[in-house]
Structure formats: structure tokens, C-alpha cells
Structure 1
Amino acid sequence: MPPGDERHRPHGADAWCAAGAALYARALRERRVPARDAERAPCLVDFGLLHPDLDDMAWLLPSAPSRALLRLLRGIEEDVAHERRREAELTAAFEPLLALARRAAERTAAPAPPDRGAPPRSSAITLLRGVPRITDAVCRAADTCADEVLTVQPGGFHRVWDLGSAPPREQPLLSRGCRLRTLYQHTARHAFPVLARFEELAGDVEVRTLSEVTAQLVVFDRAVAFVPADRDRALALEIRVPALARYLAALFDRLWRLATPLFPHPAPQPARDGVTARQRAIAELLTEGLTDAGIAERLGMNVRTVRVHISKLAEVLGSTGRTQLGYRIGQSGLLGPTDPGGPRGSHGPGRSR
């Protein structure tokens, strides 16, 4: 390699190289640059910041930074959608195992709840019947927790381990050095009591949100997990199978990396083309054919709020009916890249162990 000839090193869109930054600034000033000048900064073409001049292929024209950013963000949204599909596939694959465990636990479960002071069951997976028994088991696990608590709270703003009606024990955990991470749905971003409650806590607390999350989940020290066993939360499974508890914690980690920070440092959810992040989530479910009630259940909203957002979507896209709205959503590029060859983004680093 000749002296002074520095080859371009691949990098992400969030870390500009000096050659690329200088060439793009020049392209904005001069309206175009020779294509040969981009050989030392191919990242500008890869990220969609420069594109060929169709009238003269020897030149490259600059794209608006906002347009290039939207294309990269669409790539991230595709990755999120892919992970949601994988989540559904993994859940479906484990459903027969969970059903088998429930049937086995039902055959061995005691007919009456144990005394509050009774030691934990030795069963690897235990079916807990009734709120008092669920509360007792969750509180025992919290009392012995030494490292971290991971929780998923869909469709509501429960306390971190509210599988039944466990009393609040977040602060004692935090005071002895445990870490607390909680996933809510995006609707929690607009609920003042959520932030107010976490602001009262002192310790290592983080909260993030997603449009959709799994069923309720609580994991202590990646060793003990609790999941609901019915829709009314009158039944729950206490899981002390190390491999299964670690699997559930790994699933949480994957969702955590895709989620948007809410506390202690909230990240904004900017609108794009007049459509907010919540409205894009609703638009995606509309194209799947869900009813207003179905969308409300999936996203943790009430039906009235869903209908307000659908009306705003229709107004932005110029639609006069629900069928036409679905067509307009598909044609707008709102849910995916309009350029199949466009660059893909990468996930943010996220904090995980």
C-alpha cells in the first residue's frame, strides 16, 4: 500500500469516518461530487448519504440526512419485527412442554395452600393455586434474591412481581445491592404513576418499554421464575429448573436490547412523517386484520384510545375507510423500507449481563 494511502475501514452508521464526514459536507456545499472521490469513503453510498446522478453516472448527489436516517431506522424496525416472530415461534415450541409440566404439577399439587411459614416445595415446577399461595412463593423468592430481578408487565402497571398481590418489596431488594429491570408496554410512557413509583426507589433500577411484550414474567437471580398459568392470574407456575429459568432470562435479555429506555433516562419516540411510534404499532396490527379490541389487548390500551389513533392515521394517510386505510398503510412504506436495497441498521448496545 503506497505511503499515505489509508484504506477505508468498515464502520457503523453511528460512527463517522473522517473521510466520509469531509466528503459529505463537500457534497452538500457543491451539490455533487465526482464518483471517484467516494472510493475512499464507500460508507456514504452504503448508508444512502450519496447516490448516483442518473443524468451523469460519473457524479454522486447528496441525499438529505433525514431521508438517510429514516432508511436506517426502517432497518432497525425490520429487526424488531423479526425478533417478535422468533418470540412467537419459541413460545409455541415450548407450549407443549409447559402444558406437560402443568399436568404433572396438578397431579402432585396439595389440595390446600401451605402455611405461610412452610419451606419451599422441592418440585422443579410447581403449580400455585390462589393468590395467597402465589404471594407466599413470590415473597419467599424475593427474600432470598441476592443479585437481580427481571420482570415483564404487559397491559398494566403492576408492581414488579404482582403475579398475585404480593406486597411491595422493591426497596429492601435494592438496599441490599440487587438490581431491578422491568419491561412495560409503550403505553406506560404516558402513565405518570409508573414514573412516580420508580422515582421513589433508591438503587439500581431501570425501566424500558416495547409496543408488545410477552406474558407476565418474574425471574429472580436467573434461577427462579414465575409465570401465570391462566388469564385470571389465579394460577401461576413456580419454575426452579435451572435451564428453563436461564432460558426465560435470556428471552428477557433479547427483549431488553430491543426496548426503549424509560427510566432513569427516557429516550424520545419521535414521530415520522406525522405518524408516532404508537400509531405505527397500531398500523402494523391493522394490516394483520385485528379488530380494535384485539389491537387494544395486544398493545395494552383501551379501545377508545386505539380508535383515536386509527382516526389520526386515516387523516395523515388520506383514507376515508378502514379497508382503504389498510391499503394506504401498505403503500405508504410506513411499516417497511420502500427501497429493497437500502442499508440496514443495527441495534443499540443495550445493557445486559
Structure 2
Amino acid sequence: MQEDLKTRYPDLLRETEDLEELYRLAIRCQVLCVSQAAGELGWDDSRMDRAVRLLVDGELMRPLADDRSVLVPVAPRTAASRRLAPLHSQIARMERQSERIQAELAVFQEVHERTLRESYLAEPFQTVVGADAIAGEIMAAAENCDSEMLVARPGGGRSAADVLQNAWEPPESTLKRQVRARTLYQHSTRFDGPTRKRVERIGRAGGEVRTLGDSFEQMIIFDRELAFIPADSNRDVAVAIRQPGVVDFLLGVFGRAWVNARPFESQNRAADVSELVSSVRMSIIQLLAEGETDEAIARRIGLSVRTCRTHVAKIYQELGARSRCQLGVLIAQSGLLGQG
């Protein structure tokens, strides 16, 4: 390694070696005469002057009685203290400034919290329209979240470009503040690459993720005080809820879904995949029996319409059905609904 560095940076290494050699000589002599040292080392004036200047600038040597022709060595720890002193002073000034700013803003913190409480009581329900507005409100709530964040987001995986649906995903920066997070997805997201990566990041930050086979209500709840739910089927209108009774009701809905959900494992094992597919298939069978269309089933299960129709086609084949009506009769006769 040393030979490689000498080949690539010969001038730099020679300079380092010069500084070490002159510093060793100064330690041995304790009082170093520059001219005598140059003769002893066999250096020319230019080489000696550069080495002396660098050591003096680095606080490793200092002139004796302001005479740069006579130098004394300085211990590295002492040199470090001298060089770091201005930085320590600057850090101390910044800490005092930080404390002053915090003290100034602390006066307004109580005003802020009291005014928010008053506005919440005055407006327990607030309508938010548009993906950008929803994302902004959720972002603000996440930044003010102190202890707990509950996320229930039905449907399949989302692309990064899906602004409307991503508006309902709280920022991962909240997790880094040690906020306890529980997230509920549907089984179909276990096979979505971007969702799996997000779940890995949530897990590393200490959050928990579970999945359910059937659909559930979409919501986000912060600190058990503020909840967001969709106000229409397109999810581009939301309601921010601060009314305690309604928030408590939503907490109960989330809690029941969470108890019945399965942990999102880091790896999809073969046995789990088979069980998950069976669970998804059973949910589809139940919805077929209720007369739902393929599009409605796909939306509730969190699948693409194409994938949903593939499952439906396999159910037709397994039961030997040739029409939707016949499929409903065969499902009822098969006893599958009782097993579900």
C-alpha cells in the first residue's frame, strides 16, 4: 500500500516524510536551530523553509522568543487544543444562540397549542379537497405527531407517480422521530416490490406492518386525536376529524382490523404464498357470491382488474361453471362460503 501511494503521490508523501523527520529532530534537540538542522538533514533552504512553515502553521513547532530561526517542538495534544480553541468558542456561541432562539419561541408555543385546541373545538370536521391539499395536511399532521401514527391503506401497490394515492402515505421522516407506527395493507401488497421496500424501511425505523385479505376502511390517525378519512370513492376529497367521539370510533375500527391481520414478513415463504393466495381466492369467491363485478372485486381486494379476472377464471375452471349465474349456484352448493 505504501509503495502504491509513493507511486501515485510522490510529492505529497515526500512532504509528509520531511515533516516527520524535522519534527523528530526538533523533539530530540528540544531547541532547533533551523540553519544547523538544514545542514544536518542535507536540505536546501527552500525545502527547509517549507517544512518549517507547515509545522509552525500546524502549531507543532513555535519560534523561540519570536525568532523563527530558532524553534521548539509542541506536543500534538497542545497543538490540537490551540487549533480547536476557536472552534470550541464558535460552538459555544452557536449553542447560546440556539438556547436564545428556543427561549424566544417557547413563549409562543403555549399560544400555538391553545389556539389549535380552540380551533379544533370550533371546527371538529374539516373538508380537504385535492391530492396536493390532502398531502399537505397529512404532512403537517405527521410533523406535529408526537407518539403514535396509525395507517390503514387498502388497495394494492402504488407507483411513485400515483400522486393521489401517495397523498395518503405519511412521510417516513416521522418514523425517524421514534413515533410508534402501525400500518395496515392488504395481502396483495406482499407481492409488490415498491411496497416491500417501503415496509423494510418502516421496519428498520421500528414500525409494524400487517396485512388483511379483505377490504377495510382507509384512514390515518395521529396521536389518537386527529384522523383523516376519504370523503368520496375517488379519494381526492378527505375529511380531517378532531371530534373525540368519532376519533375513538375509528380507533376501534382500526384495532379490530389490526388484531385480525397478519404480520408482513420480510420474505414470502412458499407456504405463506400458498396460504395468502388461498385467502385472496376465498375473498374473491365471497364477493362473487354477493354479485360484485370484477372491477369492484379488484378494488376491494387490492388487485389489478387483470389479475382479479385471472383468479375468477381459475375459480370458473375449478367449479366447472360456464356462466356467472351458474358460478353463484355452484359456489353456494360447494360449501366454500361456510369454510370461509
Name the TM tier (shorter chain). 0.5 to 0.7
Tell me, yes or no, if structure 1 residue 189 matches structure 2 residue 190: yes
Residue type matched to 1:127 in 2? T
Residue type matched to 1:125 in 2? F
Query: Match of 2:178?
Result: 177
2:247 aligned to 226, 245, 258, which one?
245
2:306 aligned to 279, 304, 307, which one?
304
CA RMSD in angstroms, aligned pairs only: 2.9
Go from structure 1 to structure 2 and tell me whether the alpha carbon gap of 1:136 and 1:322 turns closer, same or farther (over 3 Å shift): closer
Residue type matched to 1:257 in 2? V
Which one has the largest radius of gyration?
Answer: 2
| Structure 1 residue 300: Cα displacement | 2.0
Residue type matched to 2:199 in 1? F
| Structure 1 residue 155: Cα displacement | 1.9
Go from structure 1 to structure 2 and tell me whether the alpha carbon gap of 1:238 and 1:337 turns closer, same or farther (over 3 Å shift): closer
Q: 1:26-37 alignment to 2 at 5 Å? A: none
Query: Match of 1:281?
Result: 283
Go from structure 1 to structure 2 and tell me whether the alpha carbon gap of 1:163 and 1:190 turns closer, same or farther (over 3 Å shift): closer
Number of matched pairs: 216
- Local SS of the residue matching 2:251: helix
Residue type matched to 1:250 in 2? G
Query: Match of 2:332?
Result: 330
Identical aligned pairs, as a percentage? Answer: 38
| Structure 1 residue 322: Cα displacement | 3.0
Go from structure 1 to structure 2 and tell me whether the alpha carbon gap of 1:303 and 1:183 turns closer, same or farther (over 3 Å shift): same
Gapped runs of 5+ residues in structure 2?
Answer: 1-114
Residue type matched to 2:227 in 1? A
Output the CA distance in 1 between the equivalents of 2:169 and 2:256: 29
Gapped runs of 5+ residues in structure 1?
Answer: 1-118, 339-353
Output the CA distance in 2 between the equivalents of 1:187 and 1:315: 22
Go from structure 1 to structure 2 and tell me whether the alpha carbon gap of 1:281 and 1:132 turns closer, same or farther (over 3 Å shift): closer
| Structure 1 residue 152: Cα displacement | 1.2
Output the CA distance in 1 between the equivalents of 2:138 and 2:306: 35
Residue type matched to 1:154 in 2? P
Output the CA distance in 2 between the equivalents of 1:287 and 1:166: 31
- Local SS of the residue matching 1:335: helix
Does structure 1 conserve the Cα–Cα contact (< 8 Å) formed by 2:175 and 2:206? yes
Deviations 1:4-25 (A, max 9, x none): xxxxxxxxxxxxxxxxxxxxxx
Query: Match of 1:221?
Result: 223
Tell me, yes or no, if structure 1 residue 259 matches structure 2 residue 261: yes
Bigger share in helix? 2
Does structure 2 conserve the Cα–Cα contact (< 8 Å) formed by 1:226 and 1:236? yes
| Structure 1 residue 173: Cα displacement | 2.1
Output the CA distance in 2 between the equivalents of 1:281 and 1:167: 25
| Structure 1 residue 129: Cα displacement | 2.7
Residue type matched to 1:185 in 2? Q
- Local SS of the residue matching 1:276: helix
Residue type matched to 2:246 in 1? L
| Structure 1 residue 164: Cα displacement | 6.7
- TM-score, structure 1 normalization: 0.54
- Local SS of the residue matching 2:337: coil
Go from structure 1 to structure 2 and tell me whether the alpha carbon gap of 1:156 and 1:290 turns closer, same or farther (over 3 Å shift): same
Output the CA distance in 2 between the equivalents of 1:152 and 1:250: 12
Output the CA distance in 2 between the equivalents of 1:180 and 1:191: 21
Output the CA distance in 2 between the equivalents of 1:151 and 1:266: 22
- TM-score, structure 2 normalization: 0.56
Residue type matched to 2:191 in 1? H
Deviations 1:216-268 (A, max 9, x none): 21001111101111233332111111221121111101011111221457685
Output the CA distance in 2 between the equivalents of 1:139 and 1:173: 9
Does structure 1 conserve the Cα–Cα contact (< 8 Å) formed by 2:186 and 2:213? yes
User: RCO greater where, 1 or 2, for CA within 8 Å and sep 6 or more?
Assistant: 1
